[in-house]
Amino acid sequence: MAALEPVLTAPQSKGHLSVARLSRWWYVACRSKQLGTKPIARTVLGVPMVLFRTSDGRPAALLDRCPHRNVPLSLGRVLGNGRLECPYHGWQFDGTGRCRLVPGLCSEGSGDCDDVPGRRTPAFAVRERDGFVWVYPSADEEPRTEPPPLPHAADAGYTTVVRELEMESTLHAAVENALDVPHTAFLHRGLFRGNGERHEIKVVVRAIPRGVEAEYIGEPRPPGLAGRLLSPSGGIVEHWDRFLLPSIAQVEYKLGTENHLLVTSLCTPVSDFTTHMFAVVSFRLRVPGSFVRPLLTPVAMRILRQDASILRVQASTIRRFGGEQYMSTEIDVLGPHIWRLLKQAEADALPASEETTTLRELRLAV
Amino acid sequence: MAALEPVLTAPQSKGHLSVARLSRWWYVACRSKQLGTKPIARTVLGVPMVLFRTSDGRPAALLDRCPHRNVPLSLGRVLGNGRLECPYHGWQFDGTGRCRLVPGLCSEGSGDCDDVPGRRTPAFAVRERDGFVWVYPSADEEPRTEPPPLPHAADAGYTTVVRELEMESTLHAAVENALDVPHTAFLHRGLFRGNGERHEIKVVVRAIPRGVEAEYIGEPRPPGLAGRLLSPSGGIVEHWDRFLLPSIAQVEYKLGTENHLLVTSLCTPVSDFTTHMFAVVSFRLRVPGSFVRPLLTPVAMRILRQDASILRVQASTIRRFGGEQYMSTEIDVLGPHIWRLLKQAEADALPASEETTTLRELRLAV
Amino acid sequence: MAALEPVLTAPQSKGHLSVARLSRWWYVACRSKQLGTKPIARTVLGVPMVLFRTSDGRPAALLDRCPHRNVPLSLGRVLGNGRLECPYHGWQFDGTGRCRLVPGLCSEGSGDCDDVPGRRTPAFAVRERDGFVWVYPSADEEPRTEPPPLPHAADAGYTTVVRELEMESTLHAAVENALDVPHTAFLHRGLFRGNGERHEIKVVVRAIPRGVEAEYIGEPRPPGLAGRLLSPSGGIVEHWDRFLLPSIAQVEYKLGTENHLLVTSLCTPVSDFTTHMFAVVSFRLRVPGSFVRPLLTPVAMRILRQDASILRVQASTIRRFGGEQYMSTEIDVLGPHIWRLLKQAEADALPASEETTTLRELRLAV
């Protein structure tokens, strides 16, 4: 669409950079509770959007630029009739982006103005589910898919905590980091892993529909603070790391039949080097959730902030050098697969298969 | 002129932007009272200038770069002999830009140095009138025009107030805003218009010499605070909005024979996206000026700051998208005409006519 | 080297700029005492480096980017074994840039990893002498030269003071400034020169090996505060200014046989427009050094800060105009010679002669 072209082609980066721009996928724009009676501004894949609720309470998303004099509609207000009013000249838009009133314009009658095409502002498909507002950043297009469900997020047997963090990082680097095991012993030394002796475990990497998964077999309970909270008595854990296109990183832990922890990081590429992360932590534990939650949350946030900090200096170094120059080993278990999937999806060349197949087995010392 | 080329061609913007660069016109550089015994720096159309007063008290304007080692002359001082001294090596310049002394240089004799061409700094034509210092930002060129007079600015029957504001905005957007009626009911809601019911009035648009004018006929006194101050008893106003090339926006109100208000906004394009506005407010009212002034000034400044704020987000959105994409209606009365005049002037293709002709009539609800 | 190419070719400047990039020369990275048990980051000629001391206490310098995931190694730590550990995944590097351990990687055995070439990080030659750590910013190259000695820096008969300052300036502009006499009467008015009447003196300019020198003959003791401290009773001084490739500015003063002052400014081009200056002031005076030092140091620092300030506005003006446009006279004694030497060195076209020859004689009023 011509109106968006300048946003998407204006290069925010150059050279050899692991930047993928998948515009025909769903991304979380905000949490449901963040969208009330006022319009809010969000940016997805470099596209500025205004979100607001129409008179039926449903969320709508428009390009955040009034077609009249190009000021952000997000600085306006939502009227009682559910229309969004531009703050500059009061043009009114409905949830489909159609201009319904040009105040002061007499030549077209006293009521709503005609549906002049140039007065529309592009609209984006929106869905609200599981407490999140999802957008589809390809303007004026009806998606053929729906946003994914969040397992256990609405399950009464589980405690669910949501935290947000903005990473100054490419989507790829943020997702790789969220699913990377080896860094935890160093970057999060003492918090997560890295306190005691090392154990050699087995890793199975599998292709899954629109994603990739690594299963860690024979992993002892992580010795750090987080592990001790989850399982004071130790034991073997079951552990899966998953990437789901376009931007979901999921970590699942099971300790016996009682303890189940699922961290689903919904990542939104704000721009090439900014990734907004909504971390959905759902757990059912031997100990009550209300007891664990106040202990676990600060530790989890500290881990997330350490990740945000290393991702920021990584992005800054990459930009300084004009691109990445990565040297991977086999224990960079998922990163290269994530990159391959992103590039395949960008080229609209994803494998059609819905089956799960084993890609590789390897050993890793944790 | 080669020395200026880098300044003028270094693009501060790209794409489809309503930026006009009219370098052969007069602009206000500063108020007379701002130019005392010290040199000051001003930028007009991207050209850095130093202004100072020579020994006869007359203002001079030079390119703000010493030809020797390229430091800004505006950081130097004015000597007793009326010359401007560079702060680095003490080179002395007169008001014409000629270097009159290179301290320490023996080979050329003990007195003033010869007039070596490469030691000149480009100079700009300057005029001082009505309390303003005007410059002509085309270096070393004698203008064939003079700065315009300011009606009533020196009229004893009028009270005149001058206020300054820097707009982060193109010249075109700032001038269109200053002469735009429909936005006042929304952006300045309660202050200016927009409090009560709407009235349909007639607008006549006229071409005037080097400008365009709109006359508003049948307009009731604006219901907002500003209107109530001007005319507590209501009544019909006479109202003209005028644009005069290259950068003057003038709003004139008459209420009966007693009340006359003239707001002349002298705009200076500092750079493509920065416009410095000198608002000259002259009025003669039924109530004493000394009574109105302290009431009117804060309201006027609040209106100007609201304009500056919306212009800033407009400019930021335009830059983010790489250019404007405006959808005008007929009640964007002057904006498109202003743009046409700016482009005609830039192409040196202004119509020669000195006559006033009606361009269009329309109706507008205010 | 391909890995560095983006850093060196990414233009930090454009147009006609007096920027020379001499990468096969020695530069001071830091003072010896600044490099302790923690790694530190320094940038030389745009190349980010991490410096650390290996287990024998010797300094090492590597490219400040882990080859694995490109985070800065300078944010890591030095281990007891003298290796530098990356903060992200714990990769370990020795002083030659070789990766000695990839934690968690089982497939290559439990000990040190093989020397996989892609896991190396480029290294830079380093020397430590006279209290400074010098680096050679051409990666993985063994220099055929050594850093220059600092005369009198270790001489017990001399008092030596070192001060640092970061100049926002090209190397050329910083060095010209350090060796320029005429500006002292203006920029440093009252501190250094410029208080009394002017004296005409003789200047002899000589080519010296890899440099240029100016001798000032018949110069009276500078009348400013600095001069009065050095020689209360006045007298004739002997004075030499020297430039030594690639970036040393040296000022030498003798007053009679008793007083000797040597200011050697070791300049490091951090980037095209940032120059880090290590000023080494060595003196032997009629009055005790312990008496002069607390008086002289604040005056010297004030002079240096005035220079830094004028260089900053000079660089800013040059960038604004897209390049220099200098108009020199014969009393710009060394600047043009310095520029010629920098360009000859950059083109690897320095004259082979080791002789000192007179280039020019002139007169200058100080």
Helix/strand/coil for A50 = strand
Of A182, A183, A317, the CB nearest to C70: A317
Say if residue C165 is in the same domain as residue C87: no
Q: Tell me: do C176 and C95 sit in the same domain.
A: no
Domain identity same for B24 and B99: yes
Q: Write out residues 294-313 of B within 8 Å (CB-CB) of A.
A: 310, 313
Q: Between B193 and A271, name the one with better pLDDT.
A: A271
The Cα–Cα gap between C223 and C107 comes to 75
The CA distances from residue C46 to C39, C67, C136, C271, in Å, are 19, 18, 13, 5
Interface mutation vs chain C, best among A193, A203, A320, most C CBs within 10 Å: A320
Beta-strand relationship, C77-78 and C59-63? unpaired
Residue C154 lies in a domain: no
What DSSP element (H or E) covers B243? strand B236-244
Q: For A47-105, how does the pLDDT look when each residue is reduced to its tens digit (9 = 90+)?
A: 999 999 999 999 999 999 999 999 999 999 999 999 999 999 999 999 999 999 999 99
Position B211: which residue type?
A: G
Query: What does the pLDDT average to over B128-132?
Result: 95
Substitution target from B18, B186, B200 for chain A, most A beta carbons within 10 A? B186
Whether A146 has a pLDDT exceeding 80, the answer reads yes
pLDDT at A12: 38
Residues C269 and C356 in one domain: yes
CB C189 within 8 A of CB C160: no
Q: What percent of chain A has pLDDT over 70?
A: 89
In CATH, what number is assigned to the domain containing residue B268? 3.90.380.10
C122 within a domain of the structure (yes/no)? yes
Q: Which of C272, C29, C286 is nearest to C173 (CA)?
A: C272
The answer on C104 and C244 residing in a single domain is: no
> Which residue among C89, C121, C136 closes a domain?
C136
Q: Is residue A60 part of a domain?
A: yes
Residue B55: domain span: 19-136
Q: Which of C88, C103, C136 is the last residue of a domain?
A: C136
Subunits with 3+ C-beta pairs closer than 8 A to A: B, C
Q: Quick check: is C48 in a domain? A: yes
Q: How far apart are CA A330 and CA A347, in angstroms?
A: 26
- Closest residue, chain B, to C366 (C-alpha): B104
Q: Cβ contacts (< 8 Å) between A270 and chain B: which residues? A: none
Query: Is the full-model pTM beyond 0.80?
Result: yes
Residues C174 and C238 in one domain: yes
Strand partners, C22: none
Interface touch C330/B105, C-beta < 8 Å: yes
Identify the pLDDT of residue A229: 66
Which of these, C283, C308, C276, C312, lies nearest to C297 by C-alpha position?
C283
Q: Is the pLDDT of residue C260 over 80?
A: yes
How many structural domains is chain A composed of? 2
Structure tokens at C116: 């996989």
pLDDT, tens only, C210-222: 999 999 998 877 6
A111 domain-assigned: yes
Q: Alpha carbon of B54 to those of B90, B121, C361: distances in Å?
A: 17, 16, 38
Q: In angstroms, rounded to a whole number, what is the distance separating the alpha carbons of residues B41 and B35?
A: 10
The verdict on C229 and C192 lying in the same domain is yes
CB C71 within 8 A of CB A310: yes
Contact C339, C171 (CB under 8 A): no
Single residue among B101, B136, B171 that ends a domain in this structure: B136
Least confident among A347-351, B192-196, B289-293 = B192-196
C110 & C174 share domain: no
Examine the domain organization and report whether C328 and C279 are in the same domain.
yes
CATH number for the domain spanning B47: value is: 2.102.10.10
Between CA A92 and CA A76 the distance in angstroms is 10
C1 domain-assigned: no
Alpha-carbon distances, residue B213 vs A100, B241, B328 (angstroms): 30, 6, 18
pLDDT tens digits, C109-141 = 654 666 788 899 999 999 999 999 999 999 999
Site from C167, C325, C361 to mutate, B interface, most B CB atoms within 10 angstroms: C325
Q: How confident is the model at residue C255 (pLDDT cuts 50, 70, 90)?
A: confident
Residues A88 and A169 in one domain: no
Say what the pLDDT of residue B274 is: 97
Pick C89's closest partner by Cβ from A182, A313, A364: A182
Identify whether A6 is part of a domain. Answer: no
Q: Decide if A3 is inside a domain.
A: no
Task: Please check whether residues B168 and B114 belong to one and the same domain.
Answer: no
Cβ-based contacts of B320 with chain A (< 8 Å)? 7, 48
Q: Which of C90, C114, C119 is nearest to C103 (CA)?
A: C90
At residue C268, the pLDDT reads 98
Residue of A nearest to B202 (CA): A106
Same domain, A175 and A123: no
Residues of A in contact with B218 (CB under 8 A): none
The predicted complex's ipTM stands at 0.91
pLDDT digits (tens, 9 = 90+) for B103-127: 999 877 655 666 788 899 999 999 9
